[in-house]
A = this chain, B = another copy of it.
Amino acid sequence: MVTVGIDLGGTNIYAVVLDGEERLGRAKLRTPSTGDRTGVIDVMDAAVRDALGDAGRDIDEVTGVGVGSPGVVMAGTVGGASNVPGFLERFSLADLLKQKVGREVRVTNDVTAAAVAEHRLGAGRGTDDLLAVHVGTGVGGGIILGGRPFEGGAGGAGEFGHIVVRQGGAVCPCGRRGCVEAYAGRRAMTLAAERAKAAGTSTILFDVMEDKGKARATSGVFAAAYERGDTLVADLLDDAIEALGAGIASAVNLLDVDVVVLGGGFADRFGGWFRSRVDAAMRPHLFLQPPRIRVVAAELGDEGGAIGAALLAAEI
């Protein structure tokens, strides 16, 4: 018997098939960029079938399907995910996907799912208290306490990206001010670069984007502009690193976790240099002395969320 995990992202839908902790198959499909939630659920179902095909297994052998979803997840329902068509208004993803695939479905926040995977099989092995920080388009968080995913009374916990690090600071894509994500999310950084350019600041970021044939400033575009000495991008990275450092320290001061697992496309692209600087930016704010906290790189990459979702599906 096997479980299937799905990670639903704004760009891609990943699926993996697990037998216990062993990965038997995988699939990766594009997330629809238009349409409604039915279209998204159809692609999630297709990803399940593709991953099962890759594993040489049948849907009858699946004991449960786990989903790591963006937005705020509560008791199988999802809402507030602006980057997936039809996922802004709250609805029961568990019920709709169950009708489609014919298997029990457990839905979790996507970064919580990634945190479960890193805890069990990745960079968080050996600790039972960790915070996963995902730096990508936005900034997400997932929490493991006492070895279990911590989702809060109503499932709304883990919103690390919306810890306030600068009262009255920059506007965040969430509409509020001074959140970590207002400085450290790639979308917010792109908007800040657009505003700075419109105000006359010199930057090659958007030239690099065009040269690479990209429709948006990807992590690779930011990295290339930085490597070519773009001072605006360097300043934006400084702000992102300081915000992540302060936000992580705040979370550590509150939760006393042992390990922070830093992942996500943006953090992964910049690698060890970025992680070291976040670590250094965090330390001046740590209350507990000597600090026990370690900031480590996520090990499971793009598939972490799907793997964690499959691990959680084993508990259905």
Task: Give me the interface of A with B, judged by CB distance under 8 Å.
Answer: 72, 80, 127-129, 141, 143, 145, 150-160, 162-167, 174, 176-179, 242-243, 246-247, 249-251, 253-258, 284-285, 287-289, 292
Contacts and interface: CB of A to CB of B under 8 A. Distances in A.
Given A165-B165, A167-B246, A158 B72 contact: no
Given A153-B256, A164-B285, 12 more contacts: A80-B289, A141-B254, A145-B145, A154-B288, A158-B256, A162-B253, A162-B285, A163-B254, A165-B165, A167-B242, A177-B285, A254-B254
Given A164-B165, A165-B164, A242-B167, A159 B253 contact: yes
B254 A154 contact: no
Nearest to A259: B153
Given A253-B159, A254-B251, A152 B165 contact: no
A284 B164 CA distance: 11
Contacts of A127: 153
Top 7 A-B residue pairs of the complex, sorted by shortest distance between their CB atoms: A152-B256, A157-B256, A156-B256, A159-B253, A156-B288, A164-B246, A163-B250
B145 A176 contact: no
Given A157-B254, A253-B162, A256-B157, A243 B288 contact: no
A258 to B, nearest CB: 5
Contact of A284 (B152, B158, B176, B257): B176
Given A165-B167, A167-B166, A292-B154, A176 B254 contact: no
Contact of A285 (B128, B143, B176): B176
Contacts of A159: 253-254, 287-288
